[in-house]
């Protein structure tokens, strides 16, 4: 896949720009302003030593491996995810974990997992499937 590294580069550049632009330099709130109250956030995924992150619901949400998929396989996985997300409706990014749960069901083997059950995929293929779902949710499928 020729552009597998591009999203990571763009994210890193965007993150650097945002954090640099938002810094006040000394960490103190400007005079007359109070710091915003911290907001409740969802629990962070559990990081496992092998580079796999699993949500509180037991769904693998990240695999630390280079995405490994043919351009055709990735395209099919992305379009399958987009169709599933569109069918569900609502905010696509909120449907990523439920879709990943479907892909990881032992009885599933289809375009989202390159035609094989999740447990039979190599780490790079799992990373590619996760990337395809994330790109589908962001509207980045062709």
Per-residue pLDDT of the chain (142 residues; tens, 9 = 90+): 444 444 443 333 343 443 344 444 444 444 444 444 444 455 555 555 578 999 999 999 999 999 999 999 999 999 999 999 999 999 999 999 999 999 999 999 999 999 999 999 999 999 999 999 999 999 999 7
Q: How many CB atoms lie within 10 A of CB 79?
A: 16
Domain boundary assignment for the chain: 64-142
Structure-token pair, residue 55: 């949500």
Q: How far apart are alpha carbons 13 and 4 in whole angstroms?
A: 16
* pTM confidence score: 0.67
Identify the pLDDT of residue 10: 39
Q: Please list the helix, strand and coil fractions of the chain in percent, rounded to the nearest 5, in that order.
A: 45, 5, 45
- Return the pLDDT at 18: 37
Integer CA distances (angstroms), 87 to 6, 20, 97, 134, in order:
28, 39, 15, 16
């Amino acid at each position: 896949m020729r552009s597998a590294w591009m999203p990571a580069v763009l994210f890193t550049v965007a993150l650097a720009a945002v954090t640099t632009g938002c810094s006040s330099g000394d960490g103190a709130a400007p005079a007359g302003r109070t710091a915003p109250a911290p907001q409740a956030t969802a629990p962070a995924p559990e990081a496992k030593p092998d580079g796999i992150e699993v949500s509180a619901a037991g769904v693998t949400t990240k695999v630390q491996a280079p995405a490994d998929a043919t351009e055709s396989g990735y395209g099919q996985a992305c379009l399958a995810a987009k169709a599933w997300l569109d069918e569900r409706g609502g905010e696509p990014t909120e449907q990523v974990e439920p879709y990943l749960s479907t892909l990881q069901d032992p009885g599933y083997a289809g375009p989202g997992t390159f035609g094989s059950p999740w447990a039979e995929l190599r780490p790079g293929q799992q990373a590619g499937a996760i990337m395809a779902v994330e790109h589908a949710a962001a509207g980045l499928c062709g």
